[in-house]
Structure 1
Amino acid sequence: MKILLLSIGTRGDMEPFLAVGDLLLGEGHEVGIVMPEQFRGLAEEVGLQFFSLSEKFLELLETSAGRGIMGQRGGKLRRIGQLFSLARHSMQLQKTLLIQQEEAINAFQPDHIFYHPKCLFGRLWGMLHPGRAAVLSPIPNWLHPVRQYPHIAFPQSWGQRFNRWTYGFSNGMTALMGARMLKPFRANYPALTLSRSAILQHMKQEERVLYLVSEVLFSQPDYWPPQAKVVGYLERPKTGQWTPSDALLEFLENHREEPILFVTFGSMVNADPVRTTEVIIAALQKLGVPAILNVAAGGLVRPDDPPPNTLWVDDIPYDWIFPRVFGVVHHGGSGTTHTTIKHGCASLVVPHIIDQFFWNQRCADLGVGPLGPPIKRLTEENLTALLGLLLGDSTFRANAQLLGRQMKEEGFQREALL
């Protein structure tokens, strides 16, 4: 079978699709993947046929507005202005991305498509080919209501009635924007009605959605419709040909009797990475705890004169390092959260955007770490206190280890894919 995967976003949005592609490829299917050009190497590493999307999507996140939103820079009015600026540029880019998605689909001629919720053309194709497409979502509170949590676009819950409203509002806006963006393609698909109401009806009643999250961390609500299903967490081996440096092995050996922390913000950037780095260093030094800090996409900055008890890395496979550390300070991306708990690490989440606020609350609810501050409110004082709590309360790591064992036994519901 010819299967095409479509995803847009940061690396956290790519990894679930790469994992599914790796699984399907191993079963003998012909698998293609449509992703931003920056991830070509990852797709080719897995062995998937690659179709490129514009680099400009990720480049938007590096703009002043992008960094401001992820770093929560300024007051509400300023952030609203940043959001409108980013949305304006994103709308212009979306036209290009839609054309590229259509071209990839026409070139590959798939039998089946799996697409990220942000890939509008995947939804169009699914409406045109009933039963041959499905959404893959790495986030549980995106399309179908979860009573105790709001839609990912809303960082705070104000009760079940408010939470339910957030899903209706967000899905309605998604359908409206979809109708507007897909309007230029209507002539190409005369059999389809691409109005807001038609798209919304498809989303609510027909669109099959597979949530790539662990039921250990999020149990499927019994009030969800039959076309929505939590199928478990799937990750591909990332260590591959990677080997640890002598400096990394020496650091782990020198601190083998101490609780080592790993600090990473993954693909997230922020408004002031220098200040963020200074805050984290100050808290670590005050507590005297050894830490490995991952510079990654630029959310942290490697100092010219690294302080003692710290090791700075640019990229490191989480499935290799997490079993070797006590706890992880991270941004709360879905993949990072799953991998952290799967390997029994205590967690302190410093959320930047969107679903990270959900995972921050979920980690606290599961008892694997204290509730962390958003990146905008991260200070030396609150980080020192929270790290002290993370290290001093043994129940956080014990809970993570228990949940991690359950996740390893859980498995992935492969039969739900096709």
Structure 2
Amino acid sequence: MRIVIMAVGGRGDVAPYTGLGLRLREAGHDVAIAAESAHEPLVRSAGLEFRVLPGNSQADLDTEDGKRWQESGTGVRALVSATRLFTQLMKDLCDGVRGAAEGADLLLLHHLTIYQGYAVGKAMGIPTMALELFPTGMAPTGDFPPAELSLPDLGRWANRNVDRLVGALTSPAVRFFADFQRELGLPGIGLSSMVRALHEEDWPILHGFSPEVVPRPRDWRPGIEVSGYWWPAVPQGWRPPAELVDFLDAGPPPVFVGFGSMAQGEGERLSEITAAALRRAGVRGIVQAGWAGMAVAGDDVFSVGDVPHEWLFPRTAAVVHHGGAGTTGAALRAGVPAIAAPLMADQPFWADRLVRLGVSPGSAGLRALDARRLGELITQAVTDPRFGDRARTLAERIRAEDGAGQVVKAVERLAR
């Protein structure tokens, strides 16, 4: 079977699908990953076929709308900024998804490609399935609001229905989608009607996180499942830099600090905060540059670029990160305490989840982050044994799961 996985966003939105792609290939399928051109090296380093989708997430976050989205972080202002930011991308993805789907026997769809992929699949006679990295409005539940909305608990009825309100508010921006469906030879229905159709046919949606972290809500309809994590592939032939190995061997486990694709242009501020926080806590540190361009100098600090989390995180005393789904999962898998500094989208959801799980002493919003608060959290994480004990226990359970294997089984069911 020729499978095309479609994923849009930063590195954390694409990397989990590389390991999943390898598992599907091991099961006998031909696998391609369609993503933004910036992720071609990531996909090809895993030995997988690459197909290009439109978009440049790093450049988008540097636009005025992107900056406003990051500055507003959560709430209605963030929703408005995100709508303006993503409307053009959604338009571009219509043709992009159609082109990337050529020759496919199955489409596996990440969040921002679901609507286009589902329509293209219907028109071309290709089965489709969603692979989500966090609980979205596509899978409403009374247990919590959709993670991408960054909202507090609203009560069961509102939690389950808030995405309908959001859909009503944003529907004028996506009217182009009806025209796209008509171009495909399909009825030109609105997105809300499409979502109803998806649910009525029990369209499959698999979530790539552990049920130990977010148990499957009881009010989810059939077809919506939690599979367990899908771990990124380690690039073929990767070896850790000798200088990094020497640093790790030269003293006690350091604290990792990295904020992924967040806070572009704030590298100097975040570097100063990180350096001061590490000094306050009296710990060594490994600082990842990320899109912010962080760099911290000192005998007790080592700066890195991209290093596989699977290799690095188990060698640390704690992980400080932005709360992205993939980094959250990697820290949990490593069995070390974690501290999230969330900014927007699903990040506050995961920050709260880490505290609820007992593996984190708390969180600090990235926009308001300061050295005193971060230093206090790091100190608690590395000195209070409860966080490490809970993290190790949870990691054992997570590592025993086979999320990718569950996707392989679901693909085989579709094939039959």
Normalised by the length of structure 1, the TM-score is 0.89
1:150 matched residue in structure 2: 145
The CA deviation string for residues 200-247 of structure 1, in whole angstroms up to 9 with x for no partner, is: 312332332111111121111222111111111121431532222232
* Contact 1:125-1:133 at 8 Å conserved across structures: no
For 1:409, the aligned partner's letter is: A
Question: 370, 381, 384: which one pairs with 1:393?
Answer: 384
**Structure 1 residues 85 and 309: alpha-carbon distance in aligned structure 2, compared to 1, 3 A threshold:** same
The 2-side partners of 1:356 and 1:408 are apart by 22
Question: 348, 352, 368: which one pairs with 1:361?
Answer: 352
For 2:379, the aligned partner's letter is: G
Question: 258, 262, 273: which one pairs with 2:256?
Answer: 262
The 1-side partners of 2:375 and 2:332 are apart by 22
1:135 matched residue in structure 2: 130
The 1-side partners of 2:26 and 2:281 are apart by 47
The CA deviation string for residues 369-389 of structure 1, in whole angstroms up to 9 with x for no partner, is: 122011112112211221121
2:12 matched residue in structure 1: 12
Q: Identity over aligned residues, as a percent?
A: 27
Q: Report 1:127-206 matches (<5 A).
A: 127-128=122-123, 132-152=127-147, 153-170=149-166, 176=171, 180-206=175-201
The 1-side partners of 2:172 and 2:229 are apart by 30
1:2 matched residue in structure 2: 2
For 1:253, the aligned partner's letter is: D
2:243 matched residue in structure 1: 247
Q: Which moved more, 1:207-216 or 1:266-275?
A: 266-275
* Contact 2:142-2:158 at 8 Å conserved across structures: no
Describe the SS at the equivalent of 1:98: helix
Please tell me whether residue 103 in structure 1 is matched to residue 99 in structure 2. Answer: yes
Q: Report 1:15-414 matches (<5 A).
A: 15-70=15-70, 72=72, 80=77, 84=80, 87-105=83-101, 108-119=102-113, 120-128=115-123, 132-152=127-147, 153-170=149-166, 176=171, 180-206=175-201, 207-238=203-234, 240-255=236-251, 258-270=252-264, 272-298=266-292, 300-303=293-296, 306-412=297-403, 413=406, 414=408
- Note the C-alpha offset of 1:91: 2.3
**Structure 1 residues 325 and 157: alpha-carbon distance in aligned structure 2, compared to 1, 3 A threshold:** same
The 1-side partners of 2:255 and 2:71 are apart by 22
Q: Which runs of 5+ in 2 are unaligned?
A: none
Normalised by the length of structure 2, the TM-score is 0.89
The CA deviation string for residues 83-134 of structure 1, in whole angstroms up to 9 with x for no partner, is: 65664354234322211211222xx221111111211311213444788111
Q: Which moved more, 1:200-209 or 1:187-196?
A: 187-196
The 1-side partners of 2:279 and 2:313 are apart by 22
- Note the C-alpha offset of 1:10: 1.0
Describe the SS at the equivalent of 1:348: strand
* Contact 2:135-2:146 at 8 Å conserved across structures: no
The 1-side partners of 2:56 and 2:48 are apart by 22
Q: Which moved more, 1:125-134 or 1:260-269?
A: 125-134
1:415 matched residue in structure 2: 409
